[in-house]
Amino acid sequence: MLDNGKISSFQFVVLTTLFTIGSAILIIPSILAAESKQDAPIAVLLSIGLGMFIIMVYIALANLFPDMSLVEIIDHLLGKWIGSMVSLTFIFFLFYNASALLTFIGNFLTTQLMPETPIESIMILFMIVVIMGIRLGLEVISRSAEILFFGFLFLFIILVIFISPQIDWKNMQPVFESGIKPITLTIVYFLSFTFIPLVTLLMIFPAHVNKLTNARKGFFIGSLIGGTILLIIVLLSILVLGPNQTARNLYPSYVLAEKIKIGNFIQRIEVIIAVMWIISLFFKMTLYLYGSIIGFAQILKLKNYRFLTLPFGMIMIPATMVFHPNVVHIQTFDTKTWPLYGITFGLLLPLLLLVVAVIRKKIFK
């Protein structure tokens, strides 16, 4: 095992929650509202139910190989050559997602908070922190998440309380106006940004979690908490901003926080949502890159993964410019390409591995 670190069940719940939220807390309300308007919260509620089925698939696969990561499971089930090729595509999937999140953090900070700062310097500084976390190992990452998670929840509660007086329930009317097709597409979008990327956690689950039984429950609990927080964010965006304004804004939850104004002394505290987003995005990006580095080291049969962190980090900076050259490209990719790309590796691949494992088990019997 390249990383001998073990994390507790609670730490796994925290990582699952923050990973589920990730970048979605800032961008998902806009994508969903553009498709199904005021019916977006209903679609999110249905998505959470379907998301539990996806988690069941992941747990079923992990139960068959409790001491292996997903890359090792692929190699074991598909053989050396085919398994290695599929593993490399999965590793690229993780690396690509990490680079996309780095693009998000650079674009957000340069457009909303620090417009005069070069985007490259922001990416480099953020990348340095991510590399430091990966080199220190999974236990340090998990303990950091455990500490920051309580701050995340505190800021979320403040946001909900302060924005609640501006809720207008008329923005939810009429119900089911958009129809079945837009709601279905909204469900696909939400799943592809929240529950389907959780396949990344199969690189650490359950091999690096102390108690397997509690870890299974933690997978469900963490994803459910993350989905519920996103449901509240989407609901508040629709109720306060309205479906049209939510769809028009690139970062509607950030605009939502700008609306907070209590008296003449509590206002302009949109930094709350920025800090929440940076916390969740940091851990999601770290786990993406950690999974890609660990998987690459496992393919090469290396005994130590840490010397790979710097090359991977150095490659990622220019890769972000190539993968997503501008904001328009990101938006087009998120709505047109990403759902199919995510479903391929986040749902179809685990289902294929599960079917192959069951067939092989019956043949050997």
User: In this predicted model, what pLDDT tens digit does every residue of 107-147 receive, in sequence order?
Assistant: 888 887 788 888 888 889 999 999 999 998 889 999 999 99
What pairing do the DSSP bridges indicate for beta strands 261-262 and 266-267? antiparallel
pLDDT digits (tens, 9 = 90+) for 185-230: 889 999 999 999 999 999 998 888 887 778 888 899 999 999 999 9
Contact 262, 162 (CB under 8 A): yes
pTM score, two decimals?
0.92
Per-residue pLDDT, 264: 66
How does DSSP assign 159-223, residue by residue? Answer: HHHHHGGG--GGGG-STT-S-HHHHHHHHHHHHHHTTGGGGGGGGTTTTTBS-HHHHHHHHHHHH
Quick one: pLDDT at residue 363?
72
Low-confidence ranges of the chain (pLDDT < 50): none
In this prediction, residue 1 carries a pLDDT of 57
Residue located via tokens 């970062």: 251
CA dihedral (144, 149, 154, 160) in degrees, to 10, reads 140
Predicted pLDDT at 55: 93
Measured distance CA(144)–CA(98) in Å, rounded: 19
Cα separation, 69 vs 207, whole angstroms: 7
Please report, in angstroms and rounded to a whole number, the separation of the first and last CA atoms in the chain: 29
Between vectors from CA 114 to CA 112 and to CA 120, what angle results, nearest 5°?
Answer: 110
Domains with residue ranges and CATH for the chain:
9-364 (1.20.1740.10)
CA 283 to each of CA 14, 90, 243, 276, 319: distance values in angstroms, whole numbers, following the listed order = 10, 19, 30, 11, 20
